[in-house]
Structure 1
Amino acid sequence: MKQYDIAVIPGDGIGKEVVPEGLKVLNTVADIHGGIHFNFTEFPWSCDYYAKHGKMMPDDGLQTLKNFHAIFLGAVGNPSIVDDHISLWGLLLKIRREFEQVLNIRPAKYFKGLRSPLANPNNFDFIVVRENSEGEYSEVGGRIHKDEDEIAIQNAIFTRKGTERAMRYAFELAQKRRGHVTSATKSNGIFHTMPFWDSIFKEIKEVYPNIETASYHIDALSAFLVMKPQTFDVIVASNLFGDILTDIGGAIMGSIGIAPAANINLNGKYPSMFEPVHGSAPDIYGKEIANPIGQIWTAKMMLDHFGEEELGAKVLEAIEWVIEQGIKTSDIGGSSATKQVSEAICKRLLSL
């Protein structure tokens, strides 16, 4: 029997409500399969933890996490207790950076029964591969001078290594899907980094002659995701551009609250981390209306990462069925409670 050791960090707000529902689904998957087992170890690291200890996690927190197969994260943030820049850099971003989670993977697809703001969604289904460690979110830069002479400098750092690995991952992913990769660029306006990005994309696509490609400037690509999202398969983008495109993906699905994400470590030295895109939403915590689908879809991505793609497909099929049946929380037009949605997904899994 395969055993997967999972570090569970519910975090803040609705993370503490939706993570247990995600674990229920994973346990149901294990019951169905019979050949896998999940060993969950929960850690209370959060803004509440910060209020008691003055830090988001213990000093040896990363040492504790590094031997797990994966990290299953809920949500981070409660600005009434801790400023967001402290909570994020003290937990979520600390894990991403120090565990070399160099890629952020976010899918978006049309669900029957979930109202998209698009007049004709055309059953879109795409994945954004976002470079997750450098680019426009580099920490290189600073502020100098004061008053009217004050200057802020933010350096965007693009390495060949970081750019190539994101693109190679995108092409490998496209080979498992519909065979198309789109590059997000802005080489007509950004003088150094984007022409560099474009040149590497041209090099990498030569290695995958069976994959069709396209390259669009980020402003046009953002518009195309609204106008014709069904034409996209895999999109590869820099840190900032990927962040923008994935929020558009969540929006055209009908709710960013159902969107999942995977932070991937490629070298095997550290665990990858799986989290929904939604925030901690402390204003609705405890009302039993939090949408668990983002967390459950995140569990599906974790199964895929482990190579359990058939089981992951069953989880997504169950999610789609439940949404189509109208078993939804109020944020996406339903009246079901958090647990009712996850229980319906588990029941559907058992029937497949």
Structure 2
Amino acid sequence: MTTHRIAVIPGDGIGQEVTPAALEVLDAVGRRHDVTFAYTPLDWSCARYRREGAMMPEDGIERLRAHDAVFLGAVGAPGVPDHVSLWGLLIPVRRAFRQYVNLRPVRVFEGLESPLRTAGPGDVDLVVVRENTEGEYSEIGGRLHRGFPEEMAVQEAVFTRAGVTRVLDYAFGRAGRRAGRLTSATKSNGIVHTMPFWDELVRERAAEHPKVAWDQEHIDALCAKVVLDPGRFDVIVASNLFGDILSDLTAAVAGSIGIAPSANLNPERAYPSMFEPVHGSAPDIAGRGIANPVGAVWSAALMLDHLGHERAGAEVVAAIAATLAATDVRTPDLGGSATTEEFTRAVIARL
């Protein structure tokens, strides 16, 4: 029997609803594979921020360090600025634990209709690999002359050789284990320093992965091609900002952002990795019990993969796929009327 220590942060909004669903599925598949999970529930959230003035306690990072993984539901709430909620919890965890890969798989499941007529089941199966700790989302910069006509804001993008190289090597390695195709997102025709540097490093790392075919696309053209011909892509690697945008776009191509999972990975496993659905806290539907749990459940499957239980992770994804293909159980965002609990029960039944 293997036991993993999981820090659980349901967070805000529908995070409180989809997180228990994901844990139920984890426990169900764990019983099949002699794996148990010791959960540490943490109430770190915007509600805590309103109460105590911080999203998490001062020793929050140290409290997470002893766990094998972190499972996050969602953060964000009306009245709390997004930069407060994200920079008070999500981003510090990513950086303290060197989670430099943000992995977002995307596929069109049988039984779900993509908004694109060219994207049927089996046509789209790709992965976005996003650099997760530097790039355009650096902390360097500031505001000057606040409140005056000449007020200004400066935000510095930071691309290091070490930071770019390690995410490129991960992406090329991932492509080598998949269909062997990689696309690099760039904008070197307009961004004069960082993007040419990114392109140079892509060429350098490509030479170390000769079995992977690769190309590069300017981000604006790439977004258009993802819509016009999403089936051509296998692995897309991108900077922090470009990867953030692309991963939401590709999730929409798949039919709903509610089904999109993500993994914030420290590939060396020197620190805990963190797993979360992409959909955010969705305050407009929070508390109604109708949130789509697929993104959270699929994120749990990614966590199983990372913890060394690939077969169990594959069974969870197969159960999601079978539920969508063989039943009419759908949450409202997918055109149905099922509750979060009803959909979760259907997935567990497939396990």
Category of TM-score, reference length = shorter chain: over 0.9
In structure 1, what is the equivalent of residue 140 of structure 2? 140
- Matching residue's letter, 2:338: S
In structure 1, what is the equivalent of residue 344 of structure 2? 342
Structure 2 unaligned regions, length at least 5: none
* Count of aligned pairs between the two proteins: 347
- 2:276 maps to 1:275: yes
Structure 1 unaligned regions, length at least 5: none
SS at match of 2:100: strand
Separation in 1, partners of 2:213, 2:82? 41
SS at match of 2:127: strand
In structure 2, what is the equivalent of residue 328 of structure 1? 330
- Matching residue's letter, 1:37: T
With normalisation by structure 2, the TM-score equals 0.96
In structure 2, what is the equivalent of residue 109 of structure 1? 107
- Matching residue's letter, 2:69: A
Separation in 1, partners of 2:178, 2:283? 37
- Matching residue's letter, 2:73: G
Separation in 2, partners of 1:305, 1:267? 11
Q: Is residue 30–residue 312 contact of structure 2 (8 Å, CA) maintained in 1?
A: no
Please report how far the alpha carbon of residue 307 of structure 1 lies from its aligned counterpart in structure 2 after TM superposition: 2.1
Please report how far the alpha carbon of residue 289 of structure 1 lies from its aligned counterpart in structure 2 after TM superposition: 0.6
Q: Is residue 78–residue 283 contact of structure 2 (8 Å, CA) maintained in 1?
A: no
> C-alpha offsets along residues 289-341 of structure 1, whole Å, 9 cap, x if unaligned?
11111100100111111121111111111111111222110111111110111
Please report how far the alpha carbon of residue 189 of structure 1 lies from its aligned counterpart in structure 2 after TM superposition: 1.1
Separation in 2, partners of 1:170, 1:282? 34
Please report how far the alpha carbon of residue 140 of structure 1 lies from its aligned counterpart in structure 2 after TM superposition: 1.4
Question: Within 5 A, what are the aligned runs for 1:1-352?
Answer: 1-34=1-34, 36-80=35-79, 82-122=80-120, 123-145=123-145, 147-324=148-325, 325-349=327-351
Separation in 1, partners of 2:105, 2:37? 24
> C-alpha offsets along residues 93-151 of structure 1, whole Å, 9 cap, x if unaligned?
12112222111111111111112110110421100100011111112122334644333
- Matching residue's letter, 1:69: D
Please report how far the alpha carbon of residue 50 of structure 1 lies from its aligned counterpart in structure 2 after TM superposition: 2.1
Please report how far the alpha carbon of residue 268 of structure 1 lies from its aligned counterpart in structure 2 after TM superposition: 2.9
C-alpha RMSD over aligned residues: 1.3
Please report how far the alpha carbon of residue 248 of structure 1 lies from its aligned counterpart in structure 2 after TM superposition: 0.6
Separation in 1, partners of 2:270, 2:30? 26
Separation in 1, partners of 2:20, 2:106? 23
Separation in 2, partners of 1:124, 1:271? 30
Separation in 1, partners of 2:205, 2:105? 22
- Matching residue's letter, 1:9: I
- Matching residue's letter, 2:331: T
SS at match of 2:4: strand
Separation in 1, partners of 2:201, 2:280? 34
Separation in 2, partners of 1:13, 1:143? 31
Separation in 2, partners of 1:286, 1:154? 37
Q: Which moves more between the two structures, 23-32 or 43-52? A: 43-52
Please report how far the alpha carbon of residue 41 of structure 1 lies from its aligned counterpart in structure 2 after TM superposition: 1.3
Please report how far the alpha carbon of residue 175 of structure 1 lies from its aligned counterpart in structure 2 after TM superposition: 1.7
Separation in 2, partners of 1:310, 1:175? 20
Separation in 1, partners of 2:195, 2:270? 30
- Matching residue's letter, 2:193: H
SS at match of 2:128: strand
Q: Is residue 103–residue 265 contact of structure 2 (8 Å, CA) maintained in 1?
A: yes
